Protein backbone atom coordinates (compact mmCIF):
# COMPACT_ATOMS: atom_id res chain seq x y z
CA UNK A 1 0.00 0.00 0.00
CA UNK A 2 2.75 2.45 0.95
CA UNK A 3 4.77 1.53 -2.13
CA UNK A 4 1.84 2.30 -4.43
CA UNK A 5 1.19 5.70 -2.86
CA UNK A 6 4.87 6.59 -2.91
CA UNK A 7 5.07 5.71 -6.60
CA UNK A 8 1.97 7.77 -7.40
CA UNK A 9 3.30 11.00 -5.87
CA UNK A 10 6.45 11.18 -8.01
CA UNK A 11 4.35 10.62 -11.11
CA UNK A 12 2.03 13.44 -10.13
CA UNK A 13 4.96 15.72 -9.37
CA UNK A 14 6.62 14.95 -12.69
CA UNK A 15 3.31 15.56 -14.49
CA UNK A 16 3.10 18.99 -12.80
CA UNK A 17 6.69 19.82 -13.76
CA UNK A 18 6.08 18.78 -17.37
CA UNK A 19 2.87 20.85 -17.48
CA UNK A 20 4.71 23.94 -16.23
CA UNK A 21 7.47 23.28 -18.74
CA UNK A 22 4.96 23.15 -21.59
CA UNK A 23 3.19 26.32 -20.46
CA UNK A 24 6.47 28.20 -20.25
CA UNK A 25 8.11 27.08 -23.47
CA UNK A 26 5.08 26.50 -25.67
CA UNK A 27 2.84 29.31 -24.50
CA UNK A 28 4.85 32.07 -22.87
CA UNK A 29 7.88 31.85 -25.16
CA UNK A 30 5.64 31.90 -28.24
CA UNK A 31 3.97 35.02 -26.86
CA UNK A 32 7.38 36.62 -26.23
CA UNK A 33 8.53 35.89 -29.79
CA UNK A 34 5.40 37.28 -31.45
CA UNK A 35 4.79 40.26 -29.17
CA UNK A 36 8.49 41.05 -28.77
CA UNK A 37 9.19 41.02 -32.51
CA UNK A 38 6.26 43.34 -33.25
CA UNK A 39 7.08 45.59 -30.28
CA UNK A 40 10.76 45.87 -31.14
CA UNK A 41 9.96 46.66 -34.79
CA UNK A 42 7.56 49.37 -33.66
CA UNK A 43 10.18 50.70 -31.24
CA UNK A 44 12.87 50.88 -33.92
CA UNK A 45 10.47 52.57 -36.36
CA UNK A 46 9.41 55.16 -33.79
CA UNK A 47 12.95 55.91 -32.61
CA UNK A 48 14.03 56.50 -36.20
CA UNK A 49 11.35 59.08 -36.96
CA UNK A 50 12.53 62.56 -37.90
CA UNK A 51 11.90 64.10 -34.48
CA UNK A 52 13.87 61.45 -32.58
CA UNK A 53 16.61 60.38 -34.96
CA UNK A 54 18.35 63.74 -34.52
CA UNK A 55 19.45 62.26 -31.17
CA UNK A 56 22.27 59.76 -31.61
CA UNK A 57 20.99 57.99 -28.51
CA UNK A 58 17.71 57.16 -30.27
CA UNK A 59 19.59 55.75 -33.26
CA UNK A 60 21.61 53.44 -31.01
CA UNK A 61 18.45 52.38 -29.16
CA UNK A 62 16.80 51.56 -32.49
CA UNK A 63 19.76 49.27 -33.23
CA UNK A 64 19.32 47.69 -29.76
CA UNK A 65 15.67 46.96 -30.58
CA UNK A 66 16.65 45.23 -33.83
CA UNK A 67 19.29 43.18 -31.99
CA UNK A 68 16.66 42.13 -29.46
CA UNK A 69 14.62 40.77 -32.37
CA UNK A 70 17.66 38.75 -33.38
CA UNK A 71 17.93 37.30 -29.87
CA UNK A 72 14.25 36.34 -29.90
CA UNK A 73 14.51 34.65 -33.30
CA UNK A 74 17.66 32.70 -32.43
CA UNK A 75 17.99 31.89 -28.74
CA UNK A 76 14.35 32.17 -27.67
CA UNK A 77 13.03 30.32 -30.73
CA UNK A 78 15.60 27.55 -30.31
CA UNK A 79 14.69 27.09 -26.64
CA UNK A 80 10.97 27.04 -27.44
CA UNK A 81 11.41 24.32 -30.06
CA UNK A 82 13.89 22.27 -28.01
CA UNK A 83 12.25 22.43 -24.58
CA UNK A 84 8.63 22.79 -25.64
CA UNK A 85 8.31 20.61 -28.73
CA UNK A 86 11.43 18.40 -28.54
CA UNK A 87 12.59 19.70 -31.93
CA UNK A 88 16.36 20.16 -31.99
CA UNK A 89 16.65 22.74 -34.74
CA UNK A 90 20.42 23.09 -34.54
CA UNK A 91 20.91 19.33 -34.76
CA UNK A 92 18.75 18.76 -37.82
CA UNK A 93 21.42 18.68 -40.53
CA UNK A 94 25.21 18.68 -40.17
CA UNK A 95 28.07 20.27 -38.26
CA UNK A 96 28.13 23.36 -40.47
CA UNK A 97 24.46 24.11 -39.75
CA UNK A 98 24.93 23.49 -36.03
CA UNK A 99 28.02 25.68 -35.73
CA UNK A 100 26.60 28.52 -37.82
CA UNK A 101 23.43 28.65 -35.72
CA UNK A 102 25.34 28.56 -32.44
CA UNK A 103 27.76 31.23 -33.65
CA UNK A 104 25.03 33.64 -34.85
CA UNK A 105 23.05 33.20 -31.63
CA UNK A 106 26.04 33.95 -29.41
CA UNK A 107 27.18 36.86 -31.58
CA UNK A 108 23.75 38.54 -31.45
CA UNK A 109 23.57 38.08 -27.67
CA UNK A 110 26.92 39.77 -27.28
CA UNK A 111 25.97 42.61 -29.60
CA UNK A 112 22.73 43.22 -27.68
CA UNK A 113 24.64 43.45 -24.38
CA UNK A 114 27.45 45.69 -25.57
CA UNK A 115 25.11 47.94 -27.56
CA UNK A 116 23.61 49.07 -24.25
CA UNK A 117 27.07 49.96 -22.98
CA UNK A 118 27.80 51.89 -26.18
CA UNK A 119 24.58 53.90 -26.03
CA UNK A 120 25.13 54.60 -22.32
CA UNK A 121 28.63 55.91 -23.07
CA UNK A 122 27.29 58.08 -25.89
CA UNK A 123 24.59 59.50 -23.60
CA UNK A 124 27.19 60.15 -20.91
CA UNK A 125 29.26 62.20 -23.34
CA UNK A 126 26.20 64.17 -24.38
CA UNK A 127 25.15 64.76 -20.77
CA UNK A 128 28.43 66.45 -19.86
CA UNK A 129 27.77 69.47 -22.09
CA UNK A 130 24.61 69.78 -24.14
CA UNK A 131 25.00 72.16 -27.08
CA UNK A 132 22.35 74.38 -28.59
CA UNK A 133 22.83 72.70 -31.96
CA UNK A 134 23.73 69.00 -31.83
CA UNK A 135 26.95 68.00 -33.54
CA UNK A 136 26.22 65.87 -36.60
CA UNK A 137 28.35 62.75 -36.64
CA UNK A 138 27.77 61.04 -39.93
CA UNK A 139 27.81 57.24 -39.87
CA UNK A 140 28.96 57.17 -36.23
CA UNK A 141 26.33 54.56 -35.37
CA UNK A 142 27.22 52.35 -38.33
CA UNK A 143 30.96 52.55 -37.73
CA UNK A 144 30.62 51.85 -34.01
CA UNK A 145 28.44 48.80 -34.54
CA UNK A 146 30.69 47.44 -37.31
CA UNK A 147 33.77 47.66 -35.09
CA UNK A 148 31.94 46.08 -32.14
CA UNK A 149 30.55 43.33 -34.35
CA UNK A 150 34.00 42.53 -35.74
CA UNK A 151 35.51 42.24 -32.24
CA UNK A 152 32.71 39.94 -31.09
CA UNK A 153 33.02 37.92 -34.29
CA UNK A 154 36.63 37.12 -33.43
CA UNK A 155 35.70 36.41 -29.84
CA UNK A 156 32.98 33.90 -30.85
CA UNK A 157 35.03 32.01 -33.42
CA UNK A 158 35.23 28.89 -31.16
CA UNK A 159 31.49 28.38 -31.70
CA UNK A 160 32.03 28.47 -35.45
CA UNK A 161 34.99 26.06 -35.34
CA UNK A 162 34.47 23.55 -32.51
CA UNK A 163 30.79 23.36 -31.57
CA UNK A 164 29.01 20.00 -31.90
CA UNK A 165 29.84 16.36 -31.38
CA UNK A 166 28.33 13.00 -32.25
CA UNK A 167 26.73 11.25 -29.28
CA UNK A 168 25.70 7.59 -29.30
CA UNK A 169 22.24 7.07 -27.81
CA UNK A 170 20.23 3.96 -27.06
CA UNK A 171 19.93 1.31 -29.77
CA UNK A 172 23.20 2.53 -31.32
CA UNK A 173 21.60 5.69 -32.75
CA UNK A 174 23.79 8.76 -33.15
CA UNK A 175 22.72 12.28 -32.34
CA UNK A 176 24.42 15.57 -33.21
CA UNK A 177 24.70 17.45 -29.91
CA UNK A 178 25.15 21.12 -30.81
CA UNK A 179 27.22 22.04 -27.78
CA UNK A 180 30.70 21.70 -26.31
CA UNK A 181 31.19 18.16 -24.98
CA UNK A 182 33.31 17.82 -21.85
CA UNK A 183 33.84 14.10 -22.60
CA UNK A 184 35.02 14.67 -26.16
CA UNK A 185 38.42 13.50 -27.37
CA UNK A 186 39.05 16.96 -28.81
CA UNK A 187 40.96 19.04 -26.26
CA UNK A 188 39.34 22.29 -27.51
CA UNK A 189 35.91 20.79 -26.96
CA UNK A 190 36.82 19.90 -23.38
CA UNK A 191 38.39 23.32 -22.78
CA UNK A 192 35.40 25.34 -24.00
CA UNK A 193 32.94 22.97 -22.32
CA UNK A 194 34.44 23.85 -18.94
CA UNK A 195 34.95 27.58 -19.57
CA UNK A 196 32.28 28.73 -22.05
CA UNK A 197 29.53 29.40 -19.49
CA UNK A 198 31.71 31.54 -17.26
CA UNK A 199 33.34 33.21 -20.24
CA UNK A 200 29.94 34.24 -21.57
CA UNK A 201 28.88 35.35 -18.09
CA UNK A 202 31.88 37.63 -17.66
CA UNK A 203 32.02 39.12 -21.17
CA UNK A 204 28.29 39.38 -21.92
CA UNK A 205 26.80 40.05 -18.48
CA UNK A 206 29.15 41.06 -15.66
CA UNK A 207 31.46 43.49 -17.49
CA UNK A 208 28.65 45.17 -19.51
CA UNK A 209 26.50 45.48 -16.37
CA UNK A 210 29.30 47.09 -14.35
CA UNK A 211 30.11 49.56 -17.13
CA UNK A 212 26.44 50.36 -17.77
CA UNK A 213 25.80 50.88 -14.05
CA UNK A 214 28.73 53.30 -13.68
CA UNK A 215 27.77 55.23 -16.80
CA UNK A 216 24.12 55.45 -15.72
CA UNK A 217 25.14 56.90 -12.36
CA UNK A 218 27.11 59.65 -14.09
CA UNK A 219 24.27 60.23 -16.58
CA UNK A 220 21.80 60.76 -13.72
CA UNK A 221 24.25 63.09 -11.99
CA UNK A 222 24.89 65.21 -15.08
CA UNK A 223 21.32 65.27 -16.43
CA UNK A 224 19.17 65.54 -13.31
CA UNK A 225 21.26 66.45 -10.25
CA UNK A 226 23.74 69.04 -11.57
CA UNK A 227 22.04 70.87 -14.44
CA UNK A 228 24.29 73.97 -14.41
CA UNK A 229 25.90 72.99 -17.69
CA UNK A 230 22.47 72.97 -19.38
CA UNK A 231 21.22 76.39 -18.28
CA UNK A 232 22.00 77.93 -21.68
CA UNK A 233 19.37 75.70 -23.26
CA UNK A 234 15.69 76.49 -23.42
CA UNK A 235 13.46 74.63 -21.00
CA UNK A 236 11.84 72.75 -23.89
CA UNK A 237 15.19 71.46 -25.14
CA UNK A 238 16.20 70.38 -21.65
CA UNK A 239 12.88 68.60 -21.23
CA UNK A 240 13.26 66.67 -24.50
CA UNK A 241 16.84 65.70 -23.67
CA UNK A 242 15.82 64.43 -20.24
CA UNK A 243 12.98 62.40 -21.70
CA UNK A 244 15.39 60.72 -24.11
CA UNK A 245 17.75 60.08 -21.18
CA UNK A 246 14.91 58.59 -19.11
CA UNK A 247 14.07 56.23 -21.96
CA UNK A 248 17.65 54.96 -22.04
CA UNK A 249 17.80 54.60 -18.25
CA UNK A 250 14.64 52.48 -18.26
CA UNK A 251 16.14 50.06 -20.79
CA UNK A 252 19.39 49.80 -18.82
CA UNK A 253 17.56 49.24 -15.54
CA UNK A 254 15.53 46.49 -17.20
CA UNK A 255 18.72 44.78 -18.33
CA UNK A 256 20.32 45.10 -14.89
CA UNK A 257 17.19 43.87 -13.09
CA UNK A 258 16.07 41.01 -15.35
CA UNK A 259 19.02 39.66 -17.32
CA UNK A 260 22.00 40.11 -15.02
CA UNK A 261 20.85 38.27 -11.85
CA UNK A 262 19.01 35.56 -13.80
CA UNK A 263 22.02 34.89 -16.02
CA UNK A 264 24.37 34.72 -13.03
CA UNK A 265 22.18 32.26 -11.11
CA UNK A 266 21.58 30.23 -14.26
CA UNK A 267 25.32 29.95 -14.93
CA UNK A 268 25.91 28.83 -11.34
CA UNK A 269 23.11 26.25 -11.34
CA UNK A 270 23.92 24.87 -14.82
CA UNK A 271 27.57 24.17 -14.17
CA UNK A 272 28.61 21.40 -16.62
CA UNK A 273 30.85 19.83 -13.96
CA UNK A 274 27.91 19.43 -11.60
CA UNK A 275 26.35 15.98 -11.28
CA UNK A 276 22.64 15.70 -10.44
CA UNK A 277 21.81 12.52 -8.56
CA UNK A 278 18.35 12.78 -6.96
CA UNK A 279 15.02 13.35 -8.69
CA UNK A 280 14.15 16.24 -6.37
CA UNK A 281 17.34 18.04 -7.28
CA UNK A 282 16.65 17.53 -10.97
CA UNK A 283 13.09 18.89 -10.62
CA UNK A 284 14.40 21.89 -8.73
CA UNK A 285 16.94 22.47 -11.49
CA UNK A 286 14.18 22.42 -14.14
CA UNK A 287 11.95 24.86 -12.21
CA UNK A 288 14.82 27.26 -11.55
CA UNK A 289 15.89 27.10 -15.20
CA UNK A 290 12.35 27.97 -16.31
CA UNK A 291 12.25 31.00 -14.02
CA UNK A 292 15.65 32.26 -15.11
CA UNK A 293 14.90 31.82 -18.80
CA UNK A 294 11.57 33.61 -18.44
CA UNK A 295 13.28 36.63 -16.86
CA UNK A 296 16.08 36.73 -19.42
CA UNK A 297 13.88 36.43 -22.50
CA UNK A 298 11.24 38.81 -21.12
CA UNK A 299 13.76 41.64 -21.26
CA UNK A 300 14.47 41.10 -24.95
CA UNK A 301 10.74 41.32 -25.70
CA UNK A 302 10.00 44.36 -23.50
CA UNK A 303 11.85 47.20 -25.26
CA UNK A 304 8.58 48.78 -26.37
CA UNK A 305 7.21 48.65 -22.82
CA UNK A 306 10.32 50.32 -21.36
CA UNK A 307 10.27 53.14 -23.90
CA UNK A 308 6.50 53.67 -23.80
CA UNK A 309 6.27 53.82 -20.01
CA UNK A 310 9.34 55.97 -19.40
CA UNK A 311 9.17 58.67 -22.11
CA UNK A 312 6.31 60.99 -23.06
CA UNK A 313 8.10 62.01 -26.26
CA UNK A 314 8.07 58.36 -27.35
CA UNK A 315 4.34 58.11 -26.59
CA UNK A 316 3.74 61.30 -28.57
CA UNK A 317 5.58 59.89 -31.60
CA UNK A 318 3.63 56.62 -31.29
CA UNK A 319 0.35 58.53 -31.36
CA UNK A 320 1.49 60.50 -34.40
CA UNK A 321 2.55 57.29 -36.13
CA UNK A 322 -0.79 55.57 -35.54
CA UNK A 323 -3.14 58.52 -36.11
CA UNK A 324 -1.36 60.16 -39.04
CA UNK A 325 -3.54 58.54 -41.71
CA UNK A 326 -6.67 59.02 -39.67
CA UNK A 327 -5.99 62.73 -39.18
CA UNK A 328 -5.19 63.19 -42.86
CA UNK A 329 -8.47 61.65 -43.94
CA UNK A 330 -10.35 63.64 -41.33
CA UNK A 331 -8.84 66.98 -42.34
CA UNK A 332 -10.02 66.77 -45.98
CA UNK A 333 -13.79 67.20 -45.34
CA UNK A 334 -13.08 69.91 -42.76
CA UNK A 335 -11.12 71.94 -45.29
CA UNK A 336 -13.88 71.43 -47.90
CA UNK A 337 -16.48 72.53 -45.41
CA UNK A 338 -14.50 75.65 -44.54
CA UNK A 339 -14.25 76.52 -48.24
CA UNK A 340 -18.04 76.87 -48.48
CA UNK A 341 -18.68 78.29 -45.04
CA UNK A 342 -20.31 81.64 -44.41
CA UNK A 343 -18.30 84.81 -44.60
CA UNK A 344 -18.88 85.60 -40.92
CA UNK A 345 -16.20 82.97 -40.10
CA UNK A 346 -13.68 84.72 -42.37
CA UNK A 347 -13.49 88.41 -41.36
CA UNK A 348 -10.91 89.28 -44.03
CA UNK A 349 -13.64 88.71 -46.67
CA UNK A 350 -16.37 90.77 -45.00
CA UNK A 351 -15.63 94.20 -46.51
CA UNK A 352 -16.30 93.48 -50.18
CA UNK A 353 -19.46 91.54 -49.30
CA UNK A 354 -21.23 94.21 -47.22
CA UNK A 355 -24.73 94.70 -48.64
CA UNK A 356 -28.33 94.46 -47.59
CA UNK A 357 -28.66 91.29 -49.68
CA UNK A 358 -25.71 89.53 -48.02
CA UNK A 359 -26.96 90.34 -44.54
CA UNK A 360 -30.69 89.97 -45.16
CA UNK A 361 -30.92 87.05 -42.77
CA UNK A 362 -28.40 88.34 -40.20
CA UNK A 363 -28.98 89.28 -36.61
CA UNK A 364 -30.27 92.73 -35.45
CA UNK A 365 -26.75 93.72 -34.43
CA UNK A 366 -25.48 93.22 -37.96
CA UNK A 367 -28.44 95.22 -39.36
CA UNK A 368 -27.59 98.04 -36.96
CA UNK A 369 -23.97 98.04 -38.18
CA UNK A 370 -25.15 98.21 -41.80
CA UNK A 371 -27.44 101.18 -41.03
CA UNK A 372 -24.58 103.03 -39.33
CA UNK A 373 -22.25 102.45 -42.27
CA UNK A 374 -24.92 103.59 -44.80
CA UNK A 375 -25.54 106.73 -42.69
CA UNK A 376 -21.83 107.50 -42.61
CA UNK A 377 -21.58 107.05 -46.35
CA UNK A 378 -24.58 109.43 -46.87
CA UNK A 379 -22.99 112.02 -44.58
CA UNK A 380 -19.69 111.79 -46.42
CA UNK A 381 -21.38 112.24 -49.79
CA UNK A 382 -23.37 115.27 -48.50
CA UNK A 383 -20.15 116.91 -47.25
CA UNK A 384 -18.46 116.34 -50.59
CA UNK A 385 -21.45 117.83 -52.45
CA UNK A 386 -21.50 120.90 -50.18
CA UNK A 387 -17.79 121.39 -50.77
CA UNK A 388 -18.24 121.32 -54.50
CA UNK A 389 -21.13 123.84 -54.35
CA UNK A 390 -19.03 126.22 -52.29
CA UNK A 391 -16.29 126.05 -54.84
pLDDT at 274 (0 to 100): 56
Number of separate helices (H) and strands (E) present in the chain: 16, 2
pLDDT at 180 (0 to 100): 81
Per-residue pLDDT, averaged over 26-32, amounts to 93
The burial class, CB within 10 Å (0-12 / 13-18 / 19+), for 26 is middle
Query: DSSP per residue over 15-35, as a string?
Result: HHHHHHHHIIIIIIHHHHHHH
Question: How sure is the predictor about 163, in pLDDT bands with cuts at 50, 70 and 90?
Answer: confident
As a whole number of Å, the end-to-end CA separation of the chain is: 138
Q: How many CB atoms lie within 10 A of CB 319?
A: 10
Residue 57 CB contacts under 8 Å (≥ 6 apart), including other chains? 119, 122, 123, 126, 244, 245, 248
Residue 310 CA to residue 31 CA, distance in Å, equals 23
pLDDT at 336 over 70: no
Interval 312-326: pLDDT, tens: 888 888 888 887 655
Domain ranges of the chain: 31-226+234-323
Interval 219-249: pLDDT, tens: 888 877 665 455 544 455 556 677 788 888 8
Per-residue pLDDT, averaged over 252-260, amounts to 88
pLDDT at 131 over 60: no
pLDDT at 63 (0 to 100): 93
Question: How sure is the predictor about 32, in pLDDT bands with cuts at 50, 70 and 90?
Answer: very high
pLDDT at 248 (0 to 100): 85
Residue range 31-226+234-323 in CATH 3.40.50.300: no
Give yes or no for a contact between 234 and 131, defined as CB atoms under 8 angstroms apart: no
Amino acid sequence: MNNSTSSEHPLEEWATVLLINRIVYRGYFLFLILAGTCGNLLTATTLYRSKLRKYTTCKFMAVCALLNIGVLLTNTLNMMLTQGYDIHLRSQFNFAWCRLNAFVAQWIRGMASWALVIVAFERFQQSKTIRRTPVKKKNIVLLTMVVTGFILLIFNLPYLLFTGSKVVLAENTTFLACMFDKHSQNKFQRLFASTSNWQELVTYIIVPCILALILNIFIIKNSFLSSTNNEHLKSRSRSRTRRVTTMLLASNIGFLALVAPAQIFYAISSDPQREIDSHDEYKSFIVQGNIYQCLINTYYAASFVFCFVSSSIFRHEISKLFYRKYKTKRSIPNETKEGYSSYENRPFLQHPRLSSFAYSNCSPNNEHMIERRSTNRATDSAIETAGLMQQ
